[in-house]
Amino acid sequence: MSLHALIVEPFETLAFMRAALVACLALALMNGAVGTLLVLRRMSLDGEVLGHAVMPGAAVGFLYAGPSPLWLSLGGLASGLAVATLSGLITRAGARRDAGLVAFYLVALSLGVVLVAWRGSNVDVMRVLFGTVLAIDQRALLQIAAFSSVIVIAIAALYRPLAVGAFDPAFLRAVGVRAPYGAVFSALVVLALVASFQAFGTLLAVGPMLLPAAAARCWGLGAAVSMALAAGFGLAASIVGLLVSYHADLPSGPVIVLAAGLLFGMSLAAVNAVRRLAPTLARGS
Amino acid sequence: MWAEGRVLLREVTVRYGRRVALEAVSGEFASGSLTAVIGANGAGKSTLLAAITGVVRLAGGTVECAARRRLAYLPQLSAIDRDYPLSVAELISLGGWREIGAFRAPRSALRQRIAAVAETVGLSGRIERSIGEISVGEFQRALFARLILQDATVILLDEPFAGIDPQTMSVLLDQVTRWHQEGRTVIAVVHDLDLVQARFPSTLVLARRCLAWGATEMALPVMAA
């Protein structure tokens, strides 16, 4: 098989592969920024929980209108924001944060599965859990692109308070900042997960967000470069994942997440190897 | 000059869950005073600074501080995440927050002042370094540079000298003295009682409640007893 047939032909001949590729590009740009901030703010678990929090609302949207991207998104957005608010409240009430988050994660996931299974088929449940990156039509594509644009612009505009809130939250309070930037960031994460929902489903949506960002973070670069690198890693994982799943006839979403996981493992190994071989070089002095 | 630098506490009470961290503390930090806050671990020293700053919510009482908008706060080093990718210059530039706020870019005048304050604390050659790769002492110097840039009327320091090398310590102490001479109100949590004796005119002794508050030669023996 020629290189052309291996890499270019699937995208050249099949419209659904092209749509999937464009969707993955839009998602990678957004996920690079959101994921890097999630990792830097040490909120990976929050991301995971919010990913599942989208589920019950999306399920209600599904019950109401079937597998329509618009209603799935609206429902997911509503329940994601509700859980983000609730988890903020229980943290303030002084409960153990990790236990509270995991409780939400389990309840939201189970509730969503029950709701979809009540009226839908097993195929519908699978679709909600793992997404259908190969079934993205033009309308869904526009929706993903719009979400992605809004998120990237919002993060560019709000970067300074989000960053300071991550490493020195007391400073923001001391200079009199009262705007709830933490809550705004949680809302952006929910928005990003809703955008990823159709492509990757509620179980996998966090993968393309966190794994490329964690891989990029290994290299110890600045925040902006890390975001760009994470977007690049995300896109690379998507292309590799789509091609492997096409040629080997495997489900695309999980293969893309596996490819991203592989990039994370390779980054960890490479950085450790560099440190061991040239300890002074890696420290930069 | 700094007439508004007074901080007045009335029955200030703070609770973490059911635990009382600070109970009915009343008194006044006079404008331009330099006060050491001392006490055992868990005596509420950090909580008091956080309460004045507005970082923790009061369960009772009031903090009156006309200079609330011109207040600067140095948290304990452990409260800051040094893994965050940020250069020393970027960290110091936050001291210009009143000018740049959340959204504006620093102008060249601010950049010159950043270089100047970095020189004051002896960090000139290191401002392009990342905050994760400099030493603890250098990091504390960078935080002091940020405080200088904030040009605040009331300055709150939470354990500014804990775990700091002697050379850095003398740079930081000189800066505290300079702030005092400039008429700013400085309140610092300090553990070293000899240091309090030597450099701080006023002392507040805490044990959740206020045990003593006044001139250091009066208040310090209460702590020793």
Which residue has 């409260």 as its token pair?
B79
**Using a CB-CB distance cutoff of 8 angstroms, which residues of chain A are in contact with residue B94?**
164, 171
Global pTM value: 0.89
Residues of chain B with pLDDT > 90, as a percent, come to 76
Mean pLDDT within B208-218: 93
Q: Given this model, what pLDDT does residue A128 score?
A: 86
Q: Is the pLDDT of residue A100 over 80?
A: no
Contact predicate B76/B27, CB 8 Å: no
- Closest CB from A40, A157, A171 relative to B94: A171
pLDDT tens digit sequence for A67-83: 788 888 899 999 999 98
Q: What is the mean pLDDT of residues B142-158?
A: 96
Q: Is A63 on the interface with B (CB under 8 A)?
A: no
A123 C-beta neighbours (distance < 10 Å), count: 10
Cβ distance B86 to A284 less than 8 Å, yes or no, reads no
CA separation, residue A187 to residues A62, A79, A177, A211 (Å): 22, 11, 19, 20
**Chain mean pLDDT for chain B:** 92
| Percent of chain B predicted with pLDDT > 70 | 98
pLDDT at A94: 57
| B13 falls within a domain | yes
Residue B208 to residue A65: CA distance in whole angstroms: 59
pLDDT (0 to 100) of residue A240? 97
Q: How confident is the model at residue A25 (pLDDT cuts 50, 70, 90)?
A: very high
Angle at B78 between CA B106 and CA B48, to 5 degrees: 90
Report pLDDT for A173. 87
pLDDT tens figures, B186-205: 999 999 999 999 999 999 99
Average pLDDT, integer, range A41-48: 86
- What integer pLDDT is reported at residue B136 of this predicted model? 93
Of the given ranges (A153-157, A201-205, A278-282, B64-68), which has the lowest mean pLDDT? A278-282
**What are the counts of helices (DSSP H) followed by strands (DSSP E) for chain A?**
14, 0
Predicted confidence at residue A96, as pLDDT, reads: 66
Q: How many residues does chain A have?
A: 285
pLDDT of residue A62: 86
Residue range A228-283, pLDDT digits in tens: 999 999 999 999 999 999 999 999 999 999 999 999 999 999 999 998 887 665 45
Q: Has residue B87 got a pLDDT over 90?
A: yes
pLDDT-derived band at A214, boundaries 50, 70, 90: very high
Find chain B residues with C-beta within 8 A of A171's C-beta: 73, 75, 94
Q: What residue of A is the nearest CA neighbor of B53?
A: A174
Q: What is the pLDDT of residue B149?
A: 95
- Position A280 scores a pLDDT of 61
- Predicted pLDDT at A259: 97
Q: How far is A176 from chain B (nearest CA, A)?
A: 7
Domain carrying residue B62: 1-67+156-166+181-225
Q: Is the pLDDT of residue B207 over 80?
A: yes
Look at residues A166, A227, A216 and name the one whose alpha carbon lies nearest to residue A42. A166
From chain B residues 117-146, the ones with a CB under 8 A of any chain A CB are 130, 132-133
Measured in residues, chain B has a length of 225
> What order of strands is seen across the sheet that includes strand B60-65?
B19-29, B7-16, B60-65
Q: Does A285 touch chain B (CB under 8 A)?
A: yes
Which residue did the predictor score with more confidence, B160 or A127?
A: B160
Using a CB-CB distance cutoff of 8 angstroms, which residues of chain B are in contact with residue A157?
103
Mean pLDDT over the full length of chain A: 90
Supply the pLDDT for residue A66.
80
Contact B133 A94 (CB under 8 A): no
Residue of B nearest to A174 (CA): B53
Identify the band that residue A162 occupies on the pLDDT scale cut at 50, 70 and 90: very high
CATH of the domain at B35: 3.40.50.300
Under the banding of pLDDT at 50, 70 and 90, the label for residue A284 is very low
B78 inside 8 A of chain A by CB: no
Task: Name B105's Cβ contacts closer than 8 Å, sequence gap at least 6.
Answer: none
**pLDDT at B2 exceeding the cut of 50:** no
Q: What's the DSSP call for residue B74?
A: E
Chain segment B35-71, per-residue pLDDT in tens: 999 999 989 999 999 999 988 889 999 999 988 889 9
Q: Residue B1: is its pLDDT beyond 50?
A: no
In a domain, B57, yes or no: yes
Are residues A40 and B84, on separate chains, in Cβ contact within 8 Å?
A: yes
Inter-chain CB pairs, A–B, below 8 Å: 63
Q: Which of A157, A166, A284 sits opposite B84 (nearest CB)?
A: A166
Count of structural domains, chain B: 1
Residue-level pLDDT at A99: 76
In chain A, the domains with their CATH numbers are 3-283 (1.10.3470.10)
Find chain B residues with C-beta within 8 A of A173's C-beta: 53-55
Structural domain contains residue B97: no
Asked whether residue A26 carries a pLDDT value surpassing 80, the answer given is yes
- CB contact set of A131 (below 8 Å; sequence gap of 6+): A196, A197, A198, A199, A200, A201, A204, A205, A253
Distance CA A211, CA A190 (A): 17
Which range, of A86-95, A196-205, A240-249, B167-176, averages the lowest pLDDT?
A: A86-95
Query: What is the sign, positive or negative, of the torsion defined by CA atoms of B35, B40, B46, B47?
Result: negative
pLDDT tens-digit map of A165-188:
989 988 998 888 888 898 999 999
Contact A167 B80 (CB under 8 A): yes
Mean pLDDT of all residues in B182-186:
96
What is the reported pLDDT for A285?
Answer: 39
